[in-house]
Amino acid sequence: MYPIAHIGVSFFLAKLFSLNVIMAIVVGLLPDLVDKPGYFLGIFPYGRYVGHTLLFGLIFSCTHALRKKKWKELLMFVVFCSHLLLDARGFLPLFYPFVDYEFPKVPPRLHYDLYTFTGDVLGVTLMLLAKFIRRQTSEESMDVLPES
């Protein structure tokens, strides 16, 4: 999946759970921010490696929540998992290093098809929906201000 889908879903989840939007977007992109450079530099065997594992997401989310000292920040794991869900069409080493995976020998292709387009439309739609819900809530709260 391309970044537009990941950003849109992360933005929506941040608004839904009242999380820091910038941090949620970074977390939503984190698997690719970790794995893609490692692959292109020849460090990782494939473009989806340690950053695309549940263990990585769990360790990152727990560390983030402990650093912030807020249990609510554990919801960043949901944001992280949204990335994995959007990438589920291709190879994912979800349980690495506990499961021995045969990593694909063919390099990941950059292609834009109906599935990818649908993900991008979903991402943009969720961003707009989150903005609309936020604006609607703000306008409603203005209507119920006490009279002086």
Would residue 98 count as lying in a domain?
A: yes
Would residue 43 count as lying in a domain?
A: yes
In this prediction, residues 85-100 reach a mean pLDDT of 93
b/e string for 109-124 if b means 16 or more Cβ within 10 A? Answer: eeeeeeebeebbebbe
- Model pLDDT for residues 99-130, shown as the tens digit of each residue: 999 998 877 777 788 888 999 999 999 999 98
Would residue 143 count as lying in a domain?
A: no
Q: What is the distance between the terminal CA atoms of the chain, rounded to a whole angstrom?
A: 53
Would residue 42 count as lying in a domain?
A: yes
What contacts 24+ positions apart, CB below 8 Å, involve 107-114?
107/47, 108/39, 108/46, 108/47, 108/48, 112/2
Would residue 148 count as lying in a domain?
A: no
In this prediction, residues 71-76 reach a mean pLDDT of 93
Would residue 64 count as lying in a domain?
A: yes
pLDDT value at residue 136: 54
Number of domains comprising the chain:
1
Rounded Cα distance, 94 and 81, in Å: 10
- Model pLDDT for residues 19-53, shown as the tens digit of each residue: 999 999 999 999 999 999 999 999 999 999 999 99
**Residue 146, pLDDT above cutoff 90:** no
Would residue 132 count as lying in a domain?
A: yes
Look up the domain containing 33 and give its range: 3-137
